[in-house]
Amino acid sequence: MNRLVLWVSMFTCAMIQAVVPAWHSLGQAKAPLLLGVVLYYALSRVTLQVLEASILAGLLQDSLGPIPVGFSVLAFVTVGLLVNQFRDRVFGEHWFTHVIMGIGASVIVTMILYILLVGAGSRTGVSFSFVMSKSLGMSLLGIVTFPAVYFSIEKLDRALGNVNRGEI
């Protein structure tokens, strides 16, 4: 059932992320729903499930946009493993943690993707101010989306009996 929840949440978030238009006033940022799924698994699961969620989310993210396949995988795996490494030191169920994680992870993923794309020569002519405005937009959207994604997946997990109350 754990894998079923992972796949259903990934594809649901991918479909919503694909349908919702980018916010031009926020640097053409899209809601980081797939990143929210990765952060949920990073805060509540073991490393192997975090890797599975990160790789699947990265492949879905790359297939939804113009980024070459594999770049988002590296960014999501980096953020997922970093959060998973320190999950015992934060209050994983608290909404404030979700807000801070949404901000931080959105900025880190945006910066990693920018560095990878510029390093590979795929994105020449993209100004750093555009990347910073996109980073700001992603973090503002992460404030809203990550707590919603976390609580939705947690509720689905509890309804299917994957976790008991107080276990996450």
Instruction: Quick: pLDDT tens for 53-99.
Output: 999 999 999 998 888 888 999 999 999 999 999 988 888 778 898 99
CA 168 to chain centre: 19
Q: What is the pLDDT of residue 38?
A: 96
Please report whether residue 53 resides in a domain.
yes
Containing structural domain, residue 115: 2-9+31-155
165 part of a folded domain? no
- The answer to the question of residue 99 being in a domain is yes
Distances 60 to 13, 23, 55, 129 between C-alpha atoms, Å: 10, 20, 9, 27
* pLDDT > 90: percent of the chain: 55
Is 117 a domain residue?
A: yes
Number of domains within the chain: 1
pTM: 0.90
17 found inside a domain: no
Nearest-angstrom CA–CA distance, 54 and 68: 16
Tens-digit pLDDT profile for residues 112-127: 998 888 888 776 667 7
Q: Would 23 be classed as within a structural domain?
A: no
User: Which pLDDT value is given to residue 156?
Assistant: 92
In a domain? residue 24 = no
